[in-house]
Chain A
Amino acid sequence: MPPRKVLIVDDSKLLHRMFEMMLRQYPLVHAYDGREGLVRLGENSDIDLVLLDVNMPHMNGIEVLTAMKADPRFANIPVVLITTEGSEEQTDRGLALGASAYVKKPFRNEELLAVVQRLTAGAPAAT
């Protein structure tokens, strides 16, 4: 089985760089807003996990998640919502829409890595 491919949708270049460092063993695909995220999903049929920022220009993370769950091609891809919103209401809303996990910024690197490893378990890491 090939290594898991992870799509990162976030408008922060800083976080993209951070994810590159943290997730070195995973092939990564980058998108800098919600619309581009959906385009990258369409282009890469082998995406296994999406790290999705909530607050983004053009199309926010909740809208992207809703669009993904409505599209049979993407509906089963696990999504980790990453946001600065800390309320329980926001968390519940994201999970109710079908997100697999919710990580609040600023996160500890080992915390996010554990979530990614859990959701991509069963696949070998790239070497």
Chain B
Amino acid sequence: MTIRVPEEVKDQPPRRADALSELQHTLARAGELLRSLEKSPGASKDTQLQQRLVELEDDRNQLSKQLSDYEAQTGRLMNLYVATYQLHSTLDPGEVQSTIAEIATNLIGAEQFALLFWKGDSGECEIAHAQGLEEAGSGLYENGRYSGGDPAIDATLSDGVLRIGPIDGSDVVAVVPLSVQGAVVGALVIHKLFEHKAMLRADDRDLLDLLAAHAASALFAARVYSATDRKLKTLESLIQLVKRG
């Protein structure tokens, strides 16, 4: 398309000349667009639309995946929050132990496990809580105690490092160190997961780390509170007796 501008434009007053000049430019641009449309066949438009559709589908899939990732991340954070909340929500040692067991069973999927704590300087660990051990352990635990013998458990009780199986010479699934102020006071030993849970997942590692950091301190605080409370009540009883006497 050719745009012809009348010669009179040059003779117009400035404002009108500007307007005509702009109109000339617009018409020229429209002509260019028209030419480009005339050049591109209908099939090309379809191709462009299809390409745009593919791009939109890609965007949608990407957003869907991101949403799924965010939901999974939210779930993981929720598990960690609830586990921490429950561990520190009570000063009853029995309840803290139950919470550790519930985390192991309900959030990690442990079917057989033992919660061990060093028993003074005896070189033995006492079993504070156990589940399904009658079927597991293969003689590791006797009379409610662990005296050593499993390389993974012994190593974790010694160096405080979280170990996840398979481990040479050991059948355990995981050994979680339980530490208070940097000192290893015990371990959570997971011997078997539920059948429908084939292996520990990446997000289970977060929970195991959380247990390593919080379980022992929560239990330690509860035991100290319980012992102090018991002593206080004994003293109060004695004072009452003295007052009566």
A residues near B (Cβ < 8 Å) are 12-15, 17-18, 21-22, 84, 86-87, 104-106, 108-110
Q: Are B83 and A14 in contact, with the CB atoms below 8 A?
A: yes
Among B57-65, B101-109, B177-185, the stretch that binds chain A is B101-109
Closest to A55 in B: B105
Closest to B106 in A: A105
Closest to B207 in A: A106
Q: Once bound together, how far apart are the Cα atoms of A34 and B99, in whole Å?
A: 20
How many A-B contacts if CB must be within 8 Å? 58
Closest to B87 in A: A14
Question: Does chain A have a CB within 8 A of B79?
Answer: yes
Which chain B residues in 99-154 approach chain A with CB under 8 Å? 99, 102-103, 105-109, 111
Contact-residue size bin, chain B (C-beta under 8 Å from the other chain): 20 to 34
Pick the 9 closest A-B CB pairs, nearest first.
A86-B196, A109-B75, A14-B102, A106-B109, A110-B71, A86-B195, A14-B86, A12-B102, A18-B82
Query: Which of chain B's residues have a CB closer than 8 A to the CB of A15?
Result: 102, 106
Q: Are B72 and A105 in contact, with the CB atoms below 8 A?
A: no
B residues near A (Cβ < 8 Å) are 68, 71-72, 74-75, 78-79, 81-83, 85-86, 98-99, 102-103, 105-109, 111, 194-197
Q: Are A108 and B75 in contact, with the CB atoms below 8 A?
A: yes
Q: Are B105 and A18 in contact, with the CB atoms below 8 A?
A: no
Q: Once bound together, how far apart are the Cα atoms of A14 and B108, in whole Å?
A: 13
A94 to chain B, nearest CB (A): 14
Closest to B68 in A: A110
